[in-house]
Amino acid sequence: MGSSVLDPSKLPLGDKPYAVGFYFKAISTGGRGLLTYGKDATSQCNSFQFYIKNNSYLALQNYWWGNDAAFNSLCEYTPINFNSWHSFIATWDGSRSRYWFDGVEVFNDSGRLPTAKPNIQAGIFRIGNGQNNGTFKGWMDDVTIWDRAITEDEAAYFGKYGLPESYA
């Protein structure tokens, strides 16, 4: 299954494949950033953040800052309940994105190309804080970044059970 990235200097950069997974429990909408790495510049970071969808519910977004995937609203039809634990995984295999929420695939952009590929550059690394949008209010656990896209089986396992013992 490979290993997760332990050293921030080894984060997947450019348009290289990656997977990012974590568990979270939000307690409010204030402060939206969950995790960001890369350079604070257009198209050069990989960010995961909350936003308010249609002024009605909280959604989750994988944001490349300027050249996002064709679909970047990861949980467009899945409201996020406060004060409950949820899992989230995003993968990029070099040509498409796939997203899982609570162990279930909620979107893949197969057949739709992103407007441009990511060009993530070395720079910041923040957990619990996003790209100029405030500190996350809640808890996070099992934050994991792989330097490859993970398989559907791996994503389903992580979403339901967390990291396998072989990763600990």
pLDDT by 10s per residue, the chain, length 168: 334 445 667 788 888 899 999 998 888 765 577 888 888 777 788 887 776 665 555 667 777 766 554 344 444 545 677 788 888 888 888 888 888 888 888 877 765 555 567 778 888 888 887 766 677 888 889 888 888 999 989 988 888 887 665 554
Q: How far is CA 130 from CA 82, 139, 160, in A?
A: 19, 14, 25
pTM across the whole model: 0.80
User: What gap in Å lies between CA 31 and CA 34, rounded to an integer?
Assistant: 9
Can you tell me which residue has the tokens 């600990």? 168
Tokens of 54: 């249609």
